[in-house]
Amino acid sequence: MEMGVASGVSRSLRVGNGAGFWGDNLDAPYLLAREGRLDVLTLEYLAELTMAILAHLRSKDPSTGYINDFPELIARMGLLLRDQDRLSIVTNAGGLNPPSCAARCSGVLKGSGLDRTLIGVVTGDDVLDRIPGWLAEGVDLAHLETGEPMGVDLAGRLVAANAYLGAHAIAVGIRQGARLVVTGRVADASLTLGPAAAYFGWGWEDWPRLAGASTAGHLIECGAQATGGLWTDWTEVPDFPRIGYPIAEIEADGSFAITKAGDSGGRVNLATVAEQLLYEIDDPSRYRTPDVDVDFTGLSIQEKGTDRVVVSGARGTKPSDRLKLVGVYRNGWTASGMLAVVGRDAEARARAAGQIVLERVRRAGFALAETMIECLGAGDVARGVIVPASPPFEVVLRVTVRDPERAAVDRFCRELAPLVTSGPPGIVGYTAARPSPRPAFGYWPALVPRDLVEPGARVEIRTAAEWAASHPD
């Protein structure tokens, strides 16, 4: 994509997002790029749980730790990238290993005749090796929710620690001609802000424009949630199986319109956009990103025709001098097991069955560190919020445990099936496989001084052929 400067750009920038998490619709990115007349396709994969999964994968094979579905998508996108020479892709699919992800993609691009395609790799978010030194220097990495200080023992169990970077390096990569920019942990909205800042030539203290594009990024980052997914009035969403994914048409002043490809399903209106605007935020007057603190309270949100909502009036201020840090640490072993319980007093029998399992584990000599018994269908999904009007006739019993010792969790896994003949009546669904212990991971959110992280953030630009040569299989 040829970059312009603010005074020389005469058209909007079309940015579409085709993934809101790892596991999102497999066809959405391809269909959105094919039908959306995009300048930029963004793909957002990294939830906190995803980082834990990637850390587990990397612990088994250091060459992994990225979204392993992404190279397969690039293989499918090869012809589109060749035929749509304006199209660029910006994604955090690099996870914990952006260079290896880029190398895998480069091999695919070479096979499509795109070996000269420039790929930018953003690094600097991975600070795992720096945590011990920071603690020794007295850097405060207290848990954001509990205030508990990070101790040396927990630091020694960390398998990942990543700071949320902003849009700067992404913008540099786009300005230098990268058609694919692969990042690790960056703020979700920065995937959109980076290309917009590059395209329009915005300065990094142009707070209203940065705030506008960051708002656009926030609105499209969760994929189909802006086009009718999870919408309260879901029965009014046309053609759910073919729901379209969102497109932001960003203007030089930072205002934008949210829309979708014309022949796709879904709905874009004031309600779908407003619901997504308020999704996963704290203070609407200060939505914090690494690039800008955004004030949503003065936004104008107007429907301008079918499936088109125009948003303007975002305000912004200088961001915090700290960046969010997410740590993932080993926390023993865990397992969950489920059984259906049917008949009168199903809830009481299910809860009794769960207690029987835990007592049998205790009698076998294991004191499990954490346990949880749930009756799905009896109000436990939204415990204390929804109370069934009458006792349920059937429920699903789910028992989850965690313990530092694998042997304790393994014994729990062996105690579920015996309930079929040695527990209360009405237990069904016992033909499922016995659960197995799996590694448990803990989540440690903290704040870290920005000046400790940002000097290490950079983007490296190479051709697909060069990335492939640097990381041979």
386-411, pLDDT tens digit by residue?
788 889 999 999 999 999 999 999 99
Class of domain 331-444: alpha beta
The two three-digit tokens of residue 426, written as one number: 């009405």
Q: What is the pLDDT of residue 10?
A: 64
Confirm if 316 and 328 have CB atoms less than 8 A apart: no
The two three-digit tokens of residue 450, written as one number: 């920005």
Q: How far apart are CA 292 and CA 353, in angstroms?
A: 52
Average pLDDT of the residues of the chain: 94
pLDDT at 8 over 80: no
DSSP strand pairing (88-91 vs 180-182): parallel
- The phi and psi torsions of 286 (rounded to 5 degrees) equal -150, 75
Q: What's the whole-number mean pLDDT along residues 99-117?
A: 92
pLDDT at 471 over 70: yes
- 369 C-beta neighbours (distance < 10 Å), count: 17
The amino acid at 203: G
pLDDT at 430 over 90: no
pLDDT at 143 over 60: yes
Q: What is the pLDDT of residue 383?
A: 86
Q: Which residue has the tokens 């398998």?
A: 159
Would you list the domain boundaries of the chain?
6-325+446-470, 331-444
Biggest alpha carbon distance in the chain? 77
Q: What's the whole-number mean pLDDT along residues 157-163?
A: 97
Give the confidence band of 428 by pLDDT, cuts at 50, 70, 90: confident
Confirm if 227 and 45 have CB atoms less than 8 A apart: no
Q: How far apart are CA 84 and CA 90, in angstroms?
A: 15
Burial (CB < 10 A; 0-12, 13-18, 19+), residue 37, is: middle
Confirm if 28 and 223 have CB atoms less than 8 A apart: yes
**Count of residues in the chain:** 473
Cβ contacts of 39 within 8 Å, gap of 6 or more = 1, 13, 14, 15, 86, 87, 88, 195, 199
Q: How far apart are CA 23 and CA 50, in angstroms?
A: 10
Q: What is the pLDDT of residues 164-192, one digit of tens each?
A: 999 999 999 999 999 999 999 999 999 99
Buried b or exposed e, range 209-237, using 16+ CB within 10 angstroms: bbbbbbbbbbbbbbbbbbbbbebeeeeeb
Q: What is the pLDDT of residue 127?
A: 98
pLDDT at 7 over 60: no
Q: What's the whole-number mean pLDDT along residues 363-371?
A: 98
Q: What's the whole-number mean pLDDT along residues 271-288?
A: 96
